[in-house]
Amino acid sequence: MTTVHEPAVTTAADALSVWPASAVEPRDGELTVGGVPLAEVADRFGTPVYVIDEDEVRERCRTYRHAFPDAEVLYAAKAFLCRAMVHWMAEEGLGLDVCSAGELELAVTTGFPPERIVLHGNAKSPRDLDTALRLGVGRIVIDSPSEIARLAAAVGPDGHQKVMVRVVPGISAGGHEKIRTGTEDQKFGLSIPDGYAQHAIARILDQPQLELTGLHCHLGSQITSVKPYLAAVRRMVGLMARLHEQHGLVLRELDLGGGHGIAYRPGEPALDLTALARKVRAELTEACTAAGLTVPRLIIEPGRAIAGPAGIALYHVLSVKRTGAHTYVAVDGGMSDNPRPALYGVRYAPRLVGRRSTAAPAPVTVVGRHCEAGDIVAADAELPDDIRPGDLLAVPAAGAYHLSMASGYNLVGRPPVVAVDDGRARLLIRRESLEDIRSRDVGL
């Protein structure tokens, strides 16, 4: 993620701009989310702990449904998935985008309709495909030519499966090179210029048990500009026009993926969802009209933009170390529960909660407890100069790609997830215990 040096925060509203809408500061030093004091959550469930505001998640789902009333909105489960999240998506009318048999089975066994699920993946395992067919997944996105024959054989001569093809539109967009997936020469999708996409589509059309419903693309993640999506629409419609000319093919769906960027720190940009919806709809209509095509149904796949701003990570300070020009504030979590700073250089804005401080803010580096120099939770953060062991820190915009990417590094154990709503807190995912870790180790 590109480093952004935002202007100094001057108001309470600015300071809470990246927090859930329910976040309020009833007294100096206290912060509540969903009507629940964060210090109370930490006392009850321990730290590290993730807090997710259920109403914020639901409101963001409704915002997408309102902005894209004629589109199919699929929640990208890779951002964060649990049974409660599956339930919320079902109730709010969203579909699901999953990337593995594990995500798929969790969703379906929670009661989510499989026909509203799309399976992705650049390297789907036999188990992924078998599970998708067994559970009756709605669509499978084909990402490589080898998948076509494997999928057709698994479906069988009398079977039927709806599929899409992931196309590389050749557009560079995203907050970091590691999360840009719309460019040539990377592992996802099939290229247009070298003919791989067209060749794969022709092969699918020769398989009667596979029904090609549309094209799919995904430009990357943490995109804050509308322009790349408009360019993608033009290139995808151009391919659809060529396919219609060559095969008489009329595709009824166009999936533009997700990657909608959010602000992690006050002052950072976020994608304007209203502008995106309006301009993409206009661009798609204009491009299809010019090409003489029926306008396909649009599909979008937000993940981070739904889960990210709804989540908060809570940590207790273990030590404060001043060395030379730097102050290091070490907390009881780190890269095992949030690898994003190490992977992408992401910057957060942690906040002291649970006590009032009159000390002036000072620059610090919030670091984790793991045996790794790159275990940094928040670089260049500002916290009160009297920060001390035992203090509670809250990190906003922590709902996406934190716990979902958590590891077992140093056998620390993954944190629990607690939902807050209407003044109540309830456990969604329990803390991973030493017994959990021991029970997997069967080699003695």
The CATH number for 234's domain is 3.20.20.10
Q: Write the pLDDT tens digit of every residue in 373-429.
A: 899 999 989 999 999 999 999 999 999 999 999 999 999 999 999 999 999 999 999
Taking the model in full, what pTM does it have? 0.93
Could you tell me what percent of the chain has a pLDDT over 90?
83
Domain end among 238, 271, 302? 302
Q: Let me know the angle formed at the C-alpha of 223 by 218 and 229, rounded to the nearest 5 degrees.
A: 55
Q: Are 326 and 98 in contact (CB under 8 A)?
A: no
Q: Which two tokens stand for residue 173?
A: 């967009």
Residue 256, number of CB atoms within 10 A of its CB = 24
What was the pLDDT predicted at 189? 76
State residue 324's pLDDT score. Answer: 80
Domain for residue 4, yes or no? Answer: no
For residue 184, pLDDT over 80 is answered with no
At 355 the pLDDT is: 95
- At 285, give phi and psi (nearest 5°): -65, -45
The three-state secondary structure class of 167 is strand
Residue 79 belongs to a domain: yes
Tens digit of each residue's pLDDT (9 = 90 or more) over 412-424: 999 999 999 999 9
Same domain, yes or no, for 294 and 316? no
Active site residues: 371
pLDDT at 11: 57
Does 288 lie in the same domain as 187?
A: yes
Distance CA 6, CA 282 (A): 33
pLDDT digits (tens, 9 = 90+) for 50-106: 999 999 999 999 999 999 999 999 999 999 999 999 999 999 999 999 999 999 999
Average pLDDT, the chain: 92
What pLDDT score was predicted for residue 220? 85
Domain boundary among 285, 302, 319: 302
pLDDT tens figures, 114-124: 999 999 998 89
Q: What is the pLDDT of residue 429?
A: 98
**What is the sign of the dihedral through the CA atoms of 20, 77, 136 and 63?**
positive
Nearest to 246 by CA among 195, 290, 307, 284: 195
> What range defines the domain where residue 47 resides?
12-52+309-440
Residue 185 has pLDDT above 90, yes or no: no
1 located within any domain:
no
pLDDT of residue 1: 39
Q: Please, is 387 exposed, middle or buried when counting C-beta atoms within 10 Å of its C-beta (0-12, 13-18, 19+)?
A: buried
| Residue 304 confidence (pLDDT) above 80 | yes
Query: Sign of dihedral through CA atoms 260, 162, 231, 170?
Result: positive
**Residue 62 is assigned to a structural domain of this protein:** no
Instruction: Quick: pLDDT tens for 11-39.
Output: 566 789 999 999 999 998 899 999 999 99
Distances (CA, A) of 71 to 5, 37, 65, 296: 36, 37, 8, 10
The pLDDT score that the predictor gives to residue 8 is 44
302, 334, 369 — which closes off a domain? 302
Residue 144 has pLDDT above 70, yes or no: yes
Q: Which pLDDT belongs to residue 4?
A: 41
Q: Please count the structural domains in the chain.
A: 2
> Is 6 inside a domain boundary?
no
Report pLDDT for 387: 97
